[in-house]
Amino acid sequence: MKYGLHGKLSALPGKGQDLANILLEAATMVANAPGCQLYVVSTDTELDDTVWVTEVWDSKENHDKSLNVPGVRELIGQAMPLLDGMPEKGHEFNVIGGHGLKG
């Protein structure tokens, strides 16, 4: 089964789009990382400055290794000061199928 993660990040007031832009850059960086099937960045339609990230990986190990992709840790460093508190723990799930996944 593939590994999935859905996380909510709350930015400081007025910083949601800046945070989303950083996460979109991260999506580009991990697009070709081993095991990356999906990395989607979304803004909340009801909660201003709230950004959601949905990821699907071949395994949790592949997800964990994505932190070693060049530039990813630097982006995390840029994103942290924009957050309104510590990020909530993402919701992990087993992906069993659907449409839009590679391989």
Residue 100 lies in a domain: no
Q: Are 85 and 10 in contact (CB under 8 A)?
A: yes
pLDDT at 7 over 90: yes
**Range of 18's domain?**
2-95
Domain tally, the chain: 1
CATH number, position 69: 3.30.70.100
The pTM of the full predicted model, rounded to 2 decimals, is 0.89
- The pLDDT tens digits for 16-72 are 999 999 999 999 999 999 999 999 999 999 999 999 999 999 999 999 999 999 999
How many angstroms separate the CA atoms of 66 and 64, rounded? 5
Residue 78 lies in a domain: yes
pLDDT at 102 over 70: no
